Amino acid sequence: MEDQADNRSEVISENGSDQKQETREEMLSRHRKETSDLQNKEIALKKAAAKGSKAEQKAKKKQVDEEISQLSTKLKEKQAEELSSLGYSSTTDKQKGNLDNLVKAIAGVSVTNQTEQSKPRKSVKKREKRAQEEAAREQRIQEEQNNIVSDRMIENEKLEQKLEPLGYTINEIKPDGHCLYRAVEDQLALQSGGSSPYNFQELRQMVAAYMRNHVSEYLPFFLSENMADGESEDSLTERFENHCKEIESTAAWGGQLELGALTHCLKKPIMIFSGSFPDVEMGKEYKSGALNASIMLSYHKHAFGLGEHYNSVLPNSFQ
């Protein structure tokens, strides 16, 4: 019973009066959901701010950034306080000691009792060893969450400085793993003046079919990213086929290989703007004047803690 109690953390609610018992896994899961909810709120606020004159949009965007920054700071402080109940603290000078405490908390070992024993039991040492990797991982996640807001703001500022002189703005796309295909769908709808000829799921199926039909072109690039020592070509070919299946039937995130396939499927150039990397234009061979306008996307490395992200880039006149 003591081990079970030690493996739980006591979370104090914001009003300071109510208390409830919450396991470490439940706490970390809740933290991730809180972060995701804040990111969704940011998207909703930015969409609502993208109305009115250019000056009004700029003022609203600044208010949104300030509000999200304040909410993010409060959330990080609250989560850090809750994590401290597991023995974790982000203070740099005490990092090693705090990591040791977090290991003990994850392993279900009382930090106080441990210091009172001259020789820890073998079972305790074994549990601490098993917890070491997990503790380091949780600490890394927390540090990344602490950094992501500032990184995102810097990236967004650089991207805005790049797009504003061109008369472009960003249309936020839902961060659900389909963002690349949804952003392309949004661009196709813009170019058609109505609905897109293909929805995001159809675009996924087109990409998977194209890559299967041109396996000799895509397999070398796939191998360079996925090849492991001692792995046979047959097993890699099977993994490539599994990758194609994931493209067409799951929410697997799209990257450079899928972007290249999209240019050929649609026979359109694709321009990718970024605040973290140089801009990239793919499918230049399909440029043929105004009748074949480029699909314009923005790539965000620090958009969300859940992963990298793509948005659709629109002329200001369409906002």
Backbone torsion region of residue 108, taken as left when φ is above 0, otherwise alpha when ψ lies between -120 and 50, otherwise beta:
left
* CA–CA dist 166, 156 (Å, integer): 16
Asked if residue 306 has pLDDT above 60, the reply is no
Domain contains 16: yes
Residues 136 and 179 in one domain: no
Whether 18 is a known active-site residue: answer: no
The string of DSSP letters for 91-118 reads -GGGHHHHHHHHHHHHHT--HHHHHH-S
Whether 244 is a known active-site residue: answer: no
* CA–CA dist 255, 309 (Å, integer): 10
Mean pLDDT is lowest, of 162-166, 245-249, 300-304, for 300-304
DSSP three-state, residue 202: helix
Range of the domain at 207: 167-318
Asked if residue 170 has pLDDT above 80, the reply is yes
Catalytic residue among 31, 178, 264, 309: 309
Residues 204 and 149 in one domain: no
Handedness of CA 203, 205, 206, 211 (dihedral sign): positive
Q: Taking Cα atoms as reference points, which of 58, 40, 41 lies closest to residue 49? A: 58
Q: Out of 155, 182, 216, pick the residue that ends a domain.
A: 155
Most confident of 6-15, 89-98, 265-274: 265-274
DSSP three-state, residue 176: coil
Please answer whether residues 188 and 196 qualify as being in contact, where contact means their C-beta atoms are separated by less than 8 angstroms. yes
Condensed to tens digits (0 to 9), the pLDDT of residues 94-115 reads: 444 455 555 555 444 444 444 4
Residues 185 and 246 in one domain: yes
pLDDT-derived band at 24 (thresholds 50, 70, 90) equals confident
Question: Between β-strands 307-315 and 295-304, what pairing exists: parallel, antiparallel or unpaired?
Answer: antiparallel
Kindly report the average pLDDT of the chain as a whole number: 76
Catalytic residue among 3, 37, 176, 279: 176
Whether 3 is a known active-site residue: answer: no
Mean pLDDT is lowest, of 96-105, 283-292, 296-305, 309-318, for 96-105
b/e burial code for range 71-82 (CB count within 10 A of at least 16 → b): ebeebbeebbeb
Q: Out of 155, 184, 212, pick the residue that ends a domain.
A: 155
Residues 123 and 46 in one domain: yes
Residues 131 and 12 in one domain: yes
Q: Taking Cα atoms as reference points, which of 165, 172, 190, 161 lies closest to residue 275? A: 161
Asked if residue 290 has pLDDT above 60, the reply is no
**Rounded (10°) angle between helices 95-107 and 122-163:** 120
Residues 226 and 103 in one domain: no
Residues 12 and 139 in one domain: yes
Residues 209 and 307 in one domain: yes
Domain contains 162: no
Domain contains 160: no
Q: In the structure encoding, which two tokens stand for residue 55, read together?
A: 């000056």
CATH number at residue 290: 3.90.70.80
Domain contains 80: yes
Tell me how many domains the chain contains: 2
Domain contains 200: yes
pLDDT-derived band at 249 (thresholds 50, 70, 90) equals very high
Domain contains 133: yes
Instruction: Check residue 262 and give its pLDDT.
Output: 97
The string of DSSP letters for 13-73 reads -TTSS-EEEEEHHHHHHHHHHHHHHHHHHHHHHHHHHS-S-HHHHHHHHHHHHHHHHHHHH
Find the farthest-apart pair of alpha carbons in the chain and give their distance in angstroms, rounded.
79
Q: Out of 125, 155, 185, pick the residue that ends a domain.
A: 155
Condensed to tens digits (0 to 9), the pLDDT of residues 251-283 reads: 999 999 999 999 999 999 999 999 888 999 999
Residues 219 and 283 in one domain: yes
Domain contains 135: yes
- 23: β partners: 8
Residues 174 and 246 in one domain: yes
Residues 230 and 309 in one domain: yes
Question: Between β-strands 19-23 and 307-315, what pairing exists: parallel, antiparallel or unpaired?
Answer: unpaired
Q: Which residue has the tokens 């250019």?
A: 54
Catalytic residue among 179, 186, 265, 300: 179
Residues 218 and 128 in one domain: no
